[in-house]
Amino acid sequence: MTEDERPEDGVIREYANARSPQDLYALAGALRNRAAGLWAKGRPDEALTQLDTVVARLRRADEPMLRRQVAYALANKTAMLRELGKTDEALVVL
């Protein structure tokens, strides 16, 4: 693992083409964790991109566990945008 690599990067690679709800759940959790790590490193644009990926991959999911992942990603995105002073953008996410 390189200095910039995080543990969830392996999960993201492994489940990049996930189709089953369980695998998609693991992928979404790893992407959200990556977003948190990028945010902590002061890389907000990359963090927001990870959250957008969760929403894009799962927005049509019917399973409650996957819909929850979308809700968490949207909530995280809203909080990040507010922290960046982008309140108008945060309101659009809601």
Query: Does residue 22 lie in a domain region?
Result: yes
**CA–CA separation, 90 and 76 (whole Å):** 10
Query: Does residue 77 lie in a domain region?
Result: yes
Q: What is the predicted pLDDT for the residue at 4?
A: 67
Query: Does residue 74 lie in a domain region?
Result: yes
Q: What is the predicted pLDDT for the residue at 75?
A: 96
Contacts 24+ apart (CB under 8 A), 43-52: 44/80, 44/84, 47/80, 48/77, 48/80, 48/81, 51/76, 51/77, 51/80, 52/77
**CA–CA separation, 81 and 89 (whole Å):** 7
pLDDT-derived band at 1 (thresholds 50, 70, 90) equals low
Number of domains into which the chain is organized: 1
**pLDDT tens track for 13-31:** 888 899 999 999 999 999 9
Query: Does residue 26 lie in a domain region?
Result: yes
Q: What is the predicted pLDDT for the residue at 64?
A: 97
Query: Does residue 37 lie in a domain region?
Result: yes
Note the pTM of the prediction, 2 decimals: 0.89
Query: Does residue 2 lie in a domain region?
Result: no
Domain that holds residue 89: 7-93
Query: Does residue 28 lie in a domain region?
Result: yes
Query: Does residue 69 lie in a domain region?
Result: yes
